[in-house]
């Protein structure tokens, strides 16, 4: 039974089907939402598309059908009709719910109408009543000669009915037309009639053309990877197939439709298997050059979607899709039953399989390879493999997910990586990236060739003639199609109903780490993870802004022993796993995969001297600084290797003058009488730079007169104006290096924790900003802050590592080292760091933002307590006495322990009124597990010192 609209209550999200309130026949598809994290600002200037303007809170961009009108309106103007999900999508019951699930399967029913006449088809139709599509669309996978490829472009031959009833053919590259499309701009400007195509519309104003038939006559296919069951001798002779396919050659392609490709949405065109009572229209007249066209295509008018969900706690449920919301911003520690994750704690690091998750307490049941299970904090789990820094595989993931297209390795062979890591292979061919048009606006390269072939086919076509070849669909008897498939499950299970009146179900999951794969011939098999390799989707590669591969086209490398995995071509693009006779592994691939290079620094400043226009005490003269974690840091200029300059102490002496570099005063020192003897000088110059400095191995440059003059001013400001919670150390033998310690501010998740940043001033300083390297001590358990990367990047506009406003960037005249330090403390180590991500700032004050910020703060708090332990167990060079004094003599370690234990005790009590004012008001069970592990180490350090 289809639920009534009054049962449907949810806010619109992208791709929802909605209905305008008070207008029962006005339907639309949501294209943009104000809260989308990936919704970027539109380009400046006037926009032809009405959906391109910036969205205000509570607005959605909607495309209405069938008229195609697009507009931005308040979401309160609409009621939700249906919501689309695909297997593998994440979902929740509500925005503020921390409990989430993964969609395991989807069932869609549709109401249909004839694509041209609009005559409705009675009743709801299910997907299994539709004919399987034999039309290849952009993004579809195809197979040929043991290669898997992806359709990246189409040449269409459409038949258009003019207002007067005449049919004309329209051959066009990438027309993106479909049967039933109407408009007065479908045909290009009149070009004369030749064999009734490229004729152009001569309709009077207001008349519309109608698309009555579309056929893809030429396909451009990018071949991504080869069958992994082949031995090297066979693979060597299977060269990539041709890139353009047409006429008889089309029948050599086998079309693979994944479950997501078969998803039915409003506006799709479908055909019924039993079309006995379905409406049909006939267009054209016998004897006309274009012949007649019979249309049985139907348009999806409305959908009803039901989904099966596997929740984190292992329960399964079948629900109406509108009772769920997409989980768009999952926590970095979110995981679900059957997921392969890395477990990292003080005792060991190993791969485990998640059995179930208590999301509210952030605790998971995990299974080890010896089949034993235990409860663990999710804060100690890495679902993405980012903590496994020893693995240097450019494209690999932990485990597989539903919807992944995978290759199967022969029985007894493996994918070559240590379980649970799975390689991802496939490389976009270089010709795909050719410039699409010339400077004169004409088609270029393969697109021009494709258009010429398509036009020739259309020219030579007679009335009623069809394409000479058709792409084939797999058949069940195609046993040769078991070398690839789609992951349709990550575990097998038996359903046990709790009671007959309840939708909720309990699963006895066999979560052994195997994966269920559905082959193209519909045969379903279960494979161990080590026999699978994922396909790196070509469209995904082209859309991935961070992907930069070698576009050269070389031959495939082969392993003569026959025990390898094809991962590499002759130019380093393909990667091929091979185990040679001596047992050596991996001939590694990508050059400069980490993105490190040797580009020149552009100072971008027109400054004639090195004076900085700031007051020595700085007062309130700080510029506005923004931060963002997505822009990579600038690359430093090469610094020549010359003898170090040792005049730093003279600079210090000149800078000191009458300014006092006093220690912390009595009032700020809980230890009392020992304050005057503390080594906690806010600024000091040591004799030599420590060997563990991040930039120690970088050869220093001979400082210029301008460099020394500017450094004198920087030292003077640091000497007089550093806050008590920041210390900086410079070095006599390396004037280009500094080391700083920033103590986390009160009422932030970073309170009392040390944040160590190493700095280097290149030869172009101050025209180029200082370079910073953050010493992350998270042990691979994730970032402690969105702007402080585990690899050391500090993302901040004043350092030119984030493209903020020009006034926020580094300026030789306006900026200073002190400003950079105080910006990190005041703008990065903040009370709610989750909102430092610009995409999330718009969610401040929303339920989703509140929940995600709370979870992030707990993680940041637990990780930063580990920073205290790391600083005490392995003090960094030049800071030993400072750290010892601050945490032992000054009793900050004792404070950290007492505060943490008080927080744990409070977390076991009901929430209080002060919770909303605190950065970390309470902890989940998983947070307590992680924090107690760290506290036991800190207590041991304190006891040993006493």
Could you read off the pLDDT of 315-374 as tens digits, one per residue?
999 999 999 999 988 888 899 998 999 888 766 788 899 999 999 999 999 998 888 899
Closest residue by Cα to residue 379 from 784, 746, 93, 752: 784
Per the structure block, which two tokens stand in for 103? Answer: 């969609």
Of 72-86, 143-157, 667-681, 726-740, which gets the smallest average pLDDT? 667-681
**pLDDT value at residue 561:** 33
Residue 770 has pLDDT above 50, yes or no: yes
User: Who has greater pLDDT, 310 or 40?
Assistant: 310
Residue percentage of the chain with pLDDT more than 70: 77
Query: What is the Cα–Cα distance from 840 to 381, expressed in whole angstroms?
Result: 24
**pLDDT value at residue 652:** 53
Residue 237 has pLDDT above 80, yes or no: yes
In the chain, count of helices (H) and strands (E)? 11, 42
**pLDDT value at residue 103:** 93
**pLDDT value at residue 176:** 87
163 pLDDT tier (thresholds 50, 70, 90): confident
User: Who has greater pLDDT, 192 or 238?
Assistant: 238
Of 188-192, 206-210, 694-698, 876-880, which gets the smallest average pLDDT? 188-192
Give the three-state DSSP class for 286: coil
Residue percentage of the chain with pLDDT more than 90: 46
Catalytic residue, chosen from 144, 484, 795, 862, is 795
**pLDDT value at residue 536:** 92
**pLDDT value at residue 185:** 76
Query: What is the Cα–Cα distance from 399 to 417, expressed in whole angstroms?
Result: 11
Q: What is the pLDDT of residues 620-649, one digit of tens each?
A: 333 344 444 444 333 333 333 333 344 455
Residue 172 has pLDDT above 60, yes or no: yes
Q: What residues does each domain of the chain span?
A: 683-945
Query: What is the Cα–Cα distance from 924 to 906, expressed in whole angstroms?
Result: 11
Query: What is the Cα–Cα distance from 559 to 232, expressed in whole angstroms?
Result: 6
Average pLDDT over residues 136-155: 94
Q: What is the pLDDT of residues 774-822, one digit of tens each?
A: 999 988 788 999 999 999 999 999 998 887 676 778 998 889 999 999 9
- C-alpha pair distances (Å), 824 with each of 550, 630, 817, 819, 820: 37, 17, 11, 9, 6
Q: Does the active-site annotation cover 795?
A: yes
**pLDDT value at residue 599:** 35
**Count of residues in the chain:** 946
Query: What is the Cα–Cα distance from 641 to 763, expressed in whole angstroms?
Result: 12
Residue 905 has pLDDT above 60, yes or no: yes
**pLDDT value at residue 628:** 46
Does the domain formed by 683-945 have CATH 3.10.110.10? yes
The per-residue pLDDT of the chain, averaged, comes to: 79
User: Do 329 and 839 contact (CB within 8 A), yes or no?
Assistant: no
54 pLDDT tier (thresholds 50, 70, 90): confident
Query: What is the Cα–Cα distance from 33 to 55, expressed in whole angstroms?
Result: 7
User: Do 124 and 301 contact (CB within 8 A), yes or no?
Assistant: no
Q: What is the pLDDT of residues 357-399, one digit of tens each?
A: 999 999 999 998 888 899 999 999 988 877 654 455 567 888 8
**pLDDT value at residue 149:** 96
Q: Cα torsion at 526, 532, 538, 543 (round to 10°)?
A: 90
Residue 574 has pLDDT above 50, yes or no: no
Q: What is the pLDDT of residues 715-769, one digit of tens each?
A: 999 999 999 999 999 999 999 999 999 999 999 999 999 999 999 999 889 999 9
User: Do 44 and 38 contact (CB within 8 A), yes or no?
Assistant: no
Q: How far is CA 386 from the centre of its chain?
A: 13
Average pLDDT over residues 664-668: 41
Query: What is the Cα–Cα distance from 595 to 803, expressed in whole angstroms?
Result: 18
**pLDDT value at residue 47:** 61
Give the three-state DSSP class for 14: coil
Query: What is the Cα–Cα distance from 739 to 728, expressed in whole angstroms?
Result: 6
**pLDDT value at residue 20:** 86
**pLDDT value at residue 285:** 80
**pLDDT value at residue 347:** 64
Q: What is the pLDDT of residues 455-504, one digit of tens each?
A: 999 888 765 555 578 899 999 899 899 999 999 887 644 433 333 333 33
Q: What is the pTM of this model?
A: 0.77
Residue 661 has pLDDT above 60, yes or no: no
Q: What is the pLDDT of residues 22-36, one digit of tens each?
A: 887 788 888 888 877
Q: What is the pLDDT of residues 835-885, one digit of tens each?
A: 988 778 888 888 888 889 999 999 999 999 999 999 999 989 999 999 999
Three-state secondary structure readout of 16-51: CEEEECCCCCCEEEEEEECCCCCCCCCCCCCCCCHH
**pLDDT value at residue 398:** 87
């Amino acid at each position: 039974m289809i639920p009534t609209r009054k049962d449907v209550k949810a806010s619109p999200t992208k791709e929802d089907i909605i209905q305008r309130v008070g207008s029962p026949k006005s339907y639309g598809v949501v294209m943009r939402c104000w809260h989308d994290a990936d919704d970027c600002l539109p380009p400046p200037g006037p926009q032809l598309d009405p959906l391109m303007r910036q969205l205000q809170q509570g607005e959605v961009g909607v495309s209405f059908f069938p008229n195609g009108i697009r507009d931005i309106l308040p979401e309160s103007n609409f009621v939700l009709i249906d919501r689309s999900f695909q297997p593998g999508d994440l979902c929740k019951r509500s925005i503020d719910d921390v409990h989430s699930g993964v969609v395991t399967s989807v069932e869609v029913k549709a109401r249909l109408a004839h694509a041209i006449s609009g005559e409705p088809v009675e009743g709801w139709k299910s997907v299994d009543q539709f004919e399987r599509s034999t039309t290849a669309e952009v993004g579809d996978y195809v197979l040929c000669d043991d290669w898997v490829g992806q359709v990246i472009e189409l040449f269409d031959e459409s038949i258009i009915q003019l207002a007067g009833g005449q049919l004309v053919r329209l051959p066009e590259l990438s027309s993106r037309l479909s049967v039933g499309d109407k408009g007065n701009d479908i045909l290009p400007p009149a070009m004369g009639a030749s064999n009734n195509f490229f004729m152009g519309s001569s309709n009077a104003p207001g008349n519309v053309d109608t698309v009555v038939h579309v056929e893809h006559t030429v396909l451009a296919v990018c071949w991504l990877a080869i069958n992994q069951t082949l031995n090297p001798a066979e693979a060597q002779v299977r060269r990539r197939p041709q890139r353009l396919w047409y006429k008889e050659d089309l029948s050599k392609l086998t079309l693979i439709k994944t479950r997501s490709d078969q998803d039915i949405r409003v506006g799709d065109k479908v055909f019924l298997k039993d079309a006995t009572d379905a409406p049909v229209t006939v267009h054209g007249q016998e004897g006309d050059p274009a012949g007649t066209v019979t249309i049985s295509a139907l348009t999806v008018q409305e959908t009803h979607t039901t989904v099966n969900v596997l929740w984190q706690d292992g329960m399964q449920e079948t629900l109406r899709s509108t009772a769920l919301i997409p989980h768009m911003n999952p926590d970095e520690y979110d995981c679900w039953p059957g997921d392969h994750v890395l477990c990292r704690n003080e005792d060991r690091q190993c791969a485990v399989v998640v059995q179930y998750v208590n999301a509210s307490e952030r605790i998971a049941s995990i299974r080890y390879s010896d089949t034993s299970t235990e409860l663990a904090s999710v804060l100690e789990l890495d679902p993405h493999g980012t903590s496994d820094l020893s693995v240097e595989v450019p494209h690999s993931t932990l485990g597989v997910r539903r919807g992944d297209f995978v290759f199967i390795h022969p029985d007894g062979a493996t994918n070559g990586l240590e379980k649970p890591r799975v390689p991802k292979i496939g490389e976009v061919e270089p010709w795909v990236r050719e410039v699409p048009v010339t400077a004169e606006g004409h088609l270029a390269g393969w697109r021009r060739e494709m258009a010429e072939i398509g036009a020739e086919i259309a020219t030579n076509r007679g009335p009623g003639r069809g394409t000479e070849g058709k792409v084939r669909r797999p058949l069940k008897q195609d046993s040769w199609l078991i070398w690839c498939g789609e992951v349709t499950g990550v575990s097998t299970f038996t359903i046990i109903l709790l009671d007959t009146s309840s939708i909720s179900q309990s699963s006895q999951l066999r979560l052994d780490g195997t994966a269920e794969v559905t082959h193209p011939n519909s045969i379903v098999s279960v494979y161990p993870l080590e026999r699978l390799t994922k396909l790196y989707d070509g469209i995904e590669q082209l859309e991935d802004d961070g992907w930069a591969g070698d576009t050269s086209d070389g031959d495939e490398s082969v392993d003569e022993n026959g025990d390898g995995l094809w991962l590499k071509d002759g130019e380093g693009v393909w990667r091929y796993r091979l185990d040679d006779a001596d047992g050596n592994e991996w001939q590694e691939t990508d050059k400069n995969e980490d993105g490190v290079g040797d580009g020149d620094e552009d100072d971008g400043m027109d400054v004639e001297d090195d004076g900085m226009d700031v007051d020595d005490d700085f007062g309130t003269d700080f510029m506005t600084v923004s931060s963002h974690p997505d822009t990579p840091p600038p690359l430093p200029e090469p610094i020549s290797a010359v003898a170090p300059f040792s005049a730093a102490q003279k600079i210090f002496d000149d800078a000191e003058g009458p300014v006092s570099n006093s220690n912390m005063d009595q009032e700020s020192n809980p230890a009392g009488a020992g304050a005057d003897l503390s080594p906690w000088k806010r600024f000091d110059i040591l004799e030599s730079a420590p060997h563990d400095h991040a930039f120690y191995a970088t050869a220093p440059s001979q400082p210029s007169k301008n460099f020394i003059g500017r450094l004198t001013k920087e030292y003077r400001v640091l000497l007089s104006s550093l806050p008590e919670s920041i210390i900086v150390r410079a070095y006599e033998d390396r004037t280009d290096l500094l080391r700083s310690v920033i103590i986390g501010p009160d009422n932030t998740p970073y309170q009392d924790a040390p944040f160590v940043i190493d700095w280097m001033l290149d030869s172009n300083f101050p025209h180029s900003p200082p370079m910073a390297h953050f010493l992350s001590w998270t042990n691979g358990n994730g970032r402690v802050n969105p702007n402080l990367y585990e690899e050391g990047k500090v993302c901040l506009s004043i350092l030119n590592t984030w493209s903020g406003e020009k006034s926020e960037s580094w300026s030789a005249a306006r900026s200073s080292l002190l400003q950079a330090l105080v910006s990190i403390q005041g703008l990065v180590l903040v009370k709610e760091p989750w909102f430092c991500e610009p995409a999330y700032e718009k969610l401040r004050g929303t339920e989703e933002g509140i929940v995600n910020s709370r979870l992030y703060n707990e993680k940041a708090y637990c990780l930063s307590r580990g920073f205290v332990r790391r600083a005490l167990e392995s003090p960094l060079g030049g800071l030993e006495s400072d750290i010892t004094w601050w945490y032992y003599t000054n009793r900050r370690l004792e404070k950290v322990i007492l505060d943490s234990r008080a927080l744990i005790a409070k977390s076991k009590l009901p929430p209080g009124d002060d919770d909303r004012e605190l950065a970390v008001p309470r902890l989940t069970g998983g947070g307590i597990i992680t924090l107690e592990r760290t506290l036991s180490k800190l207590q041991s350090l304190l006891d040993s010192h006493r």
